[in-house]
Amino acid sequence: MIRQFELVEKIKSYDPNADEDAINRAYVFAMKAHGSQKRASGDPYFSHPLEVAGILSDMKLDTASIITALLHDTVEDTDATLEDIEKLFGKEVRNLVNGVTKLTRIEGQSDQTKQAENFRKLVLAMSDDIRVLLVKLADRLHNMRTLDFVREEKRRRIARETLDIYAPLAERIGIMHFKDELEDLAFAALNPDARESIMSRLHFLQHQDGDNHIEPVIKELTEILKKEGVTAEITGRVKRPYSIWRKMHHKNITLEQLLDIVAFRVIVADVTDCYKVLGILHSVYRVIPDRFKDYISTPKPNGYQSLHTFIIGPNRQRIEVQIRTRKMHEVAEMGVAAHWQYKQNSNETHDYGWLRSLLEILENTSGAEEFLEHTKLEMFQDQVFCFTPAGDLISLPQGATPIDFAYAIHSKVGDHCVGVKINGRMVPLRTILHNGDQVDIVTAKAQTPSPSWERFVVTGKARANIRKFIRSQKRGQFVTLGRSLLQKGFEQAKLDYTEKQIEGTLKGFKCNTTEDLHALLGEGLNTPAEVIRAVYPNYQPAKKDKPLKSVEEHEKNLWKDKKSALSIRGLIPGMAVHYAGCCHPLPGDHIIGIIMSGRGVTIHTNDCDMLKNFANEPERWIDLTWADQEEKTTHVGRLYVIMDNRQGALATLTTTISKNHGNIANLKVVNRTENFFEVNIDIDVTNTDHLTNIIACLRASTLINSVQRI
């Protein structure tokens, strides 16, 4: 454990103007506050904040950060208050301690919601001052170093949280040695056998000839560069077990097949020398194709810059070489801490676009769990670099689409996106973007996000915005439906309906407004009968009265003896409706509606096999009928067709459908043999009679073996 005078001397060595008196007072304050408290290891509890302060002093952080490290547990675990801290150490330290406070009321519990809420608060705190995150990461690092003393269940939970949240955050602010150690310590806790196996295999591969292979490579590279007049500092390292494990799983290869088990860093004076070294190495050694990356011209989002190349190096070893300047190396190792200088009213948080992105996601999500889900999407994936027509660089996760690109520019650009040009050519919105693509988003004021976009976007920001729009759209439908159902319920019960009466029941339904309650009713999560009983607890319907019916019955009666403007009778106008993909109901079929929580009503044919899944929930069933259709609206009918594998068969199929006024929406060959084709085909038709006529005409063809409606 670092001692008081050692801590002060270390800080003074890089910051001669550090407030020595304040550091000593913080040391004494924390030691007295924690008193005789013990850690799980049996060590005095005060050893933990002292070690956290030591970790931050290694990073050469400012005095306020060091004092915060010493005090970060006092408010949560002792009788000390934030007021005490502000009085003794000032408002800056008070705010930092408040941001870093461990929140043990929710942290340390296994419930996913509690973890998500804790992370949400951490993001809000670090958005005000990134030093909050630096202290929090140092706190987590020391806890991980002493994880062996914690019981197994808690140890695995903390390790999983470290892999999911804290290691990616360390990577995002560029502190790679934090990220590497956190991952490796978590890996040791979660999968110790796998880690030990990789360690043993690495030791064998590196020493199979009885020698360490790193030093000879460094010597040869140094001599080659020296001959060309380049002075460089070269180091070599074996990659960490977790990094190797992750690549083995991601690429589905063995350890021996990995190209970058050993990485060498060449540190030179300036950027010109970086490219000169690259040219020398490529002229001397064979290059492994498609493995060169230039992060100098296109830095990573966390500011990382370096040249990466893979070569067949000395002794025919496959090695990775990273080439960078001294300044780039410091940023690569220490990230934000390498160039953090605190001045009055300055905050470098604003240099981190990813943090702004997290805050935008926070604004657009409905709860902490959804925020955590989208944030993981935002942090966990490798990057693709694309350009706007003006030449601005946009960094996105691999697999990103133009919709992700549009939302990365601005939420309004994403909301109004109607098309995209990639490298000057119009392409579908679901197209996968690649490195170097120039992306030109086409927008229109009338466009709104499509629910289908959520199926192919990969960024948390895009998904959060799309879900926000869908929620707002559906909520309006549910509110309208719920209000109608409730009014009809009171009318059937022969009771007066007033908004004031309903307001008295809101607390019982955990609602803040009557609109919230209407939305619950429209969504099918509560019934009008439940609200009536909440308003009139002793109410009993007269014998001549019909008993209160379900939401679905009220909904159906609203349309009794009325002509529907919809294609289906029994639904409220504006209600969210989905046609089941399992049975593809058409006008003319006997249909049933199933209320799906949060998604409105799904329409099935009454003989659909899927209905058996709802046999024990009759309250979710709605009897529906098709309304008379004045206009020729179309619906999708699906056919399974077996036809001869002969010339002209497919032409006959499509021509027959076209002649009978059907439009092919989709066609998929599901099987092909020497004699037959089997296809699924979706056809836009007006009703069952229309589809039946097409089926009959197809069956009349000599090239069609069989036709069956799916």
Catalytic residue among 15, 58, 77, 516: 77
Q: Which helix (H) or strand (E) holds 697?
A: helix 688-699
Catalytic status, residue 83: no
Alpha-carbon distances, residue 55 vs 1, 177, 293, 480 (angstroms) = 11, 12, 32, 58
Q: What is the 3-state secondary structure (H, E, C) of 392-456?
A: CEEEEECCCCHHHHHHHHCHHHHHCEEEEEECCEEECCCCCCCCCCEEEEEECCCCCCCHHHHHC
Q: Which amino acid is at 211?
A: D
Q: Which amino acid is at 110?
A: S
Phi, psi dihedral angles at 640 (to 5 degrees): -110, 115
Distance between CA atoms of residues 593 and 611, nearest Å: 10
Half-sphere exposure of 376 (CA within 13 A, CB side): 11
* Residue in 555, 394, 585 with CA at minimum distance from that of residue 487: 555
Structural tokens at position 12: 């003074």
Alpha-carbon distances, residue 36 vs 23, 151, 513 (angstroms) = 21, 22, 50
The alpha helices in 146-239, defined as continuous H runs, are: 152-161, 167-172, 176-190, 192-207, 214-227
Structural tokens at position 577: 């409706």
Distance between CA atoms of residues 441 and 388, nearest Å: 9
Calculate the CA 336 to chain-centre distance. Answer: 24
Distance between CA atoms of residues 656 and 643, nearest Å: 13
* Cβ neighbours of residue 114 closer than 8 Å, sequence gap 6 or more: 106, 107
- Would you say 263 and 237 are in contact if contact means Cβ atoms under 8 Å apart? yes
- Sort strands 600-605 and 591-596 into parallel, antiparallel or unpaired: antiparallel
Alpha-carbon distances, residue 474 vs 28, 120, 418, 450 (angstroms) = 58, 26, 22, 13
Catalytic status, residue 77: yes
Distance between CA atoms of residues 29 and 438, nearest Å: 57
* Residue in 329, 332, 333, 223 with CA at minimum distance from that of residue 281: 223
* Cβ neighbours of residue 137 closer than 8 Å, sequence gap 6 or more: 166, 169, 170, 175, 178, 182
Alpha-carbon distances, residue 308 vs 239, 291, 300, 398 (angstroms) = 15, 8, 13, 19
Catalytic residue among 15, 43, 58, 76: 76
Bridge partner residues of 672 (DSSP):
677
Q: Rg of the chain's alpha carbons, rounded to an integer? A: 33
* Residue in 534, 535, 517 with CA at minimum distance from that of residue 526: 517
- Would you say 62 and 16 are in contact if contact means Cβ atoms under 8 Å apart? no
3-state secondary structure (DSSP) of residue 539: coil
Q: Which amino acid is at 560?
A: K
Q: What is the 3-state secondary structure (H, E, C) of 37-67?
A: CECCCCCECCHHHHHHHHHHHHCCCCHHHHH
Distance between CA atoms of residues 568 and 605, nearest Å: 13
DSSP 103-158: -TTTTT---HHHHHHHHHHHHHHHHH-THHHHHHHHHHHHHHHTGGGS-HHHHHHH
Catalytic site positions: 76-77
